[in-house]
A and B are shown apart, each in its own frame.
Chain A
Amino acid sequence: ILNVEQSPQSLHVQEGDSTNFTCSFPSSNFYALHWYRWETAKSPEALFVMTLNGDEKKKGRISATLNTKEGYSYLYIKGSQPEDSATYLCACNRGGANNLFFGTGTRLTVIP
């Protein structure tokens, strides 16, 4: 079992603010880090998969970075909008394993 931690647990921001949150994981035998966006009553939606130290991925106003040596990833949202309100999950798996181990998520609420 991998211990994946996310912080903060929840976050309220004003529309237009930029924000970021953290995922930390054991750096030993790391294989891949996944970010998902999970809206209420919908399926978790894959945002990014990152494998290499220093990886940066971007999709619209959302971006993510990866540091495998120190075991953390940041997710950034630029100019938050109400439709960004969701729970953001990170998960990782070790080399050769099929299984993802999830953090408890960061619940983001964007206030109009």
Chain B
Amino acid sequence: SQTIHQWPATLVQPVGSPLSLECTVEGTSNPNLYWYRQAAGRGLQLLFYSVGIGQISSEVPQNLSASRPQDRQFILSSKKLLLSDSGFYLCAWSVLAGGRREQFFGPGTRLTVL
């Protein structure tokens, strides 16, 4: 069966510090991978998605970047965190099965920028 891991679960970082959040998927090959963020009082917003190694699409301009160095690894980064980067970050994966693409989420990382 497929599993998705995210770490760390919680993180408190000062403004201006760097960020690296990691997501790995097991039990599937060539998944689409996604990073979402939920800011306080707002819905889930898609930040990045990737259809393959080294292929990253960004949905919104921001202070963050993403990389996919391996098929089942997706990393979210920032060189200098802003207060507005605080939120709950979710990684997700999907594969096409029976003509449908359904997304499955990881446990999330709660980031607080002070």
Contacts and interface: CB of A to CB of B under 8 A. Distances in A.
Contacts of B94: 98
Contact of A99 (B59, B104, B105, B108): B59
B102 A46 contact: yes
Interface string A62-104: 0000000000000000000000000001010100001111111
B106 A99 contact: no
B105 A43 contact: yes
Question: In terms of DSSP, what is the predominant structure of the interface of chain A?
Answer: loop
A32 interface: yes
Contacts, number: 49
Contacts of A46: 102-104
B43 A34 contact: no
A89 B42 CA distance: 12
Bin the interface of chain A by size. Answer: 20 to 34
B46 interface: yes
Interface string B55-90: 000010000000000000000000000000000001
Bin the interface of chain B by size. Answer: 20 to 34
Contact of A34 (B32, B103, B108): B103
B61 to A, nearest CB: 13
Contacts of A42: 107
B100 A43 contact: no
A46 B45 CA distance: 17
Nearest to B43: A104
Contacts of B49: 98-99
Interface in A35-58: 36, 42-44, 46, 49, 51
B60 to A, nearest CB: 9
Nearest to B100: A49
Contact of A100 (B42, B46, B106, B108): B46
Interface of B: 4, 32, 34, 36, 42-46, 49, 51, 59, 90, 94, 100-108
